[in-house]
Each structure stands twice: as C-alpha cells, then as structure tokens.
Structure 1
C-alpha cells in the first residue's frame, strides 16, 4: 500500500466528542480513492459505485496529520476496486480502513459503463514506471 496524501484535522472536521467526524473521514476517503482510481485508469470519467466495509479503529484529533494509503485490489472490464487505509502520520495507528471501493468508468455523454482497457498487470507496470520517474524506487 502506498501512502499518497495527507490532511490536517481542523476544528471544522470534528464531531461532538472533538474527534474526526466519521462523515468527514468518509468524504476524504471517497475523494482520495477517486483521485487514485483516476490516476490508475488515466480518465476522470469515473463514478463511485460501491464502498464496502468500513471499520473505525482509533480517533483522529484536532491537529493530527492523517495519511491515506491506497492499493488496487481488482480490475474489471469497466471497474477498478481499491482499498484505503487512513492512519495517523505520527503514530502510524490506523484510524479507519475502507475496503472494496469500486469505481466504474462511464461514457461522458450517456453515463453508461464503458471499458477502460486496463489490466492489473498493466497497472502494476504503470505504477513501477511512475515510481521510477519520481525517484521512489531503488
């Protein structure tokens, strides 16, 4: 799993218990997973079809920096399925984990599913090349 982005927990992100509001965490997860899927499939014509199990493990408090780890689980003809781990940057404690987040490529005009033309093997190769260009691989 690659940790690709971070957010600072601000006062307007908190619930009544002064911890990160679950709804805000879900909003961030959907956005981060969508960005990841868009980059993987090289198209922004994607919609969220499904978010599977979400488990909240520990709170994030005001001032905490949280980071988002994303990984591709599966690739279908029109879809990509990813997982997202949200953890505290400083302590590495898991805040929450969202599994089976499914995005579907849609035709920009008809909004009907359409093939994206990528395979898991192609995405793995694409990721390796991207990491090389960013000097993130040895």
Structure 2
C-alpha cells in the first residue's frame, strides 16, 4: 500500500474529546480515493458508490500527521475497488481501515461507463509511453 497523502491535524479538525473528528478523516479519505481513481481512470467524472465497514482503531490529536494509503483490490468494468488505511505518520499506528471502497467511472451523461483499465498505472509510466 502506498501512503502518498499527508494531513496535518489542526484544532478545527477536532471533536469535543480533543481528538480527530471521524467525519473529517472520512472526508479526507473520500477525497483521496476520488483523486486516486481520477488519476487511474483518467476521467474526472467519478463517484463513490460504496464504502464497507469502517474500523476506527486509534485516534489522532492536534499536531499529529495522518497518512492516507490506498491500494487497488480489483478493476471492474465501470468501477475500481480500493482498500484504504489511515495511520499516524510518526508512530505508524493505524487510525482507521476501510476494507472496500467502490468508485464508479461516469460518462458525459452521468451514467456508469466502461473505463477499459485492468491494472494500476503510474503517471511516469504513461509519460514514458508518449
């Protein structure tokens, strides 16, 4: 799993307990999954269709750096299924896991559309092909 995104936990990200608000972390994860999918499928029109059970395992506090990792589980005809983990950058303690997130590729009409991808591609590989 690659951990490419980092978020700095700031006071406005905290809940009344003084720890990272779960909804804020889920918003960060949803955004990261959308960006990852957009890059993989080369289409800005994607949506989150499904998110499996979310397992909160630890908390984060103001000043902590949270890393978000994404990996592909499988490519569907119109979708991509991801696994996600958020962890503390300094301690590598897992904060949250999501076993499955399904992102759907949309056509110009806003309906699911086949994307034709079958494996993870990296931007530098695409640049080298051109």
TM-score, scaled to structure 2? 0.92
Structure 1: tracts of 5 or more residues without a match: 134-138
Match of 2:122 among 110, 118, 127: 127
TM-score, scaled to structure 1? 0.87
Secondary structure of the residue aligned to 2:122 is helix
Secondary structure of the residue aligned to 2:23 is helix
**Alpha-carbon distance in structure 2 between the residues aligned to 1:61 and 1:95:** 11
Q: Is 2:120 the partner of 1:115?
A: no
Structure 2: tracts of 5 or more residues without a match: none
**Alpha-carbon distance in structure 2 between the residues aligned to 1:112 and 1:128:** 26
Give the 5 Å matches for 1:1-138.
1-108=1-108, 110-120=109-119, 123=120, 126-127=121-122, 130=125
Which residue does the alignment assign to 1:136? none
Shift of residue 100 of structure 1?
0.9
Aligned length: 126
**Alpha-carbon distance in structure 2 between the residues aligned to 1:98 and 1:9:** 20
**1:75-118 deviations in Å (ceiling 9; x for gaps):** 0000000111100000000010112111111112x211100010
**1:41-92 deviations in Å (ceiling 9; x for gaps):** 1111101101111100000000000101110001000000011110000000
Secondary structure of the residue aligned to 1:50 is strand
Shift of residue 127 of structure 1?
3.1
Q: CA RMSD in A?
A: 1.4
**Alpha-carbon distance in structure 2 between the residues aligned to 1:32 and 1:23:** 14
**Alpha-carbon distance in structure 1 between the residues aligned to 2:5 and 2:50:** 22
